[in-house]
Structure 1
């Protein structure tokens, strides 16, 4: 029977109960969405995001570069990156060659063991 409770080592699971709970959650989400304000903010001050009275910065002013975002990681791995970065040529055939060579070595080591 599909309505039976499945007993596992970690508890019980009833698919019908979960489907009903999911349907109720969807219904509640739909009701909350329908009760919301249908109009979008207009032009001018009402359409701007609230930033505690500050002007909205330009996109260039809010951009965080990858070098800043991952500084701690790249600083900790500096020795690794110093050896690996010169190997990257940007040519896809070189990467495929590295991939195939690594798998060939892996299969050799697995075959030996």
Structure 2
């Protein structure tokens, strides 16, 4: 999960992953989408390969890259869990609701 998190931390690599969602793309075409050097794109692709997010195949003289979203699942699961409130937060919310309900009920009793 750490390799995947490090790979998606860079905005260029995230853009490459987005580009690869539509299917396999040759390395040259990937490089053409960015205002950085081909060696820099090559390094980004290597990081994505090493994290398992991208697979490459050699077709003739072209190297095609394609997205493999499977390694991102543990990261997504962890982020989802991180975003969920723990059990105590729900309990405190319920307690707050009861306190307001009780106060409102007491005010209504006094005014009646």
Interval containing the TM-score (normalised by the shorter chain) = under 0.3
Q: Which has the larger radius of gyration?
A: 1
What is the TM-score normalised by the length of structure 1?
0.24
Q: Which has the higher helix share?
A: 2
Greater relative CO, 1 or 2 (CA 8 Å, sep 6+): 2
Q: Which has the higher strand share?
A: 2
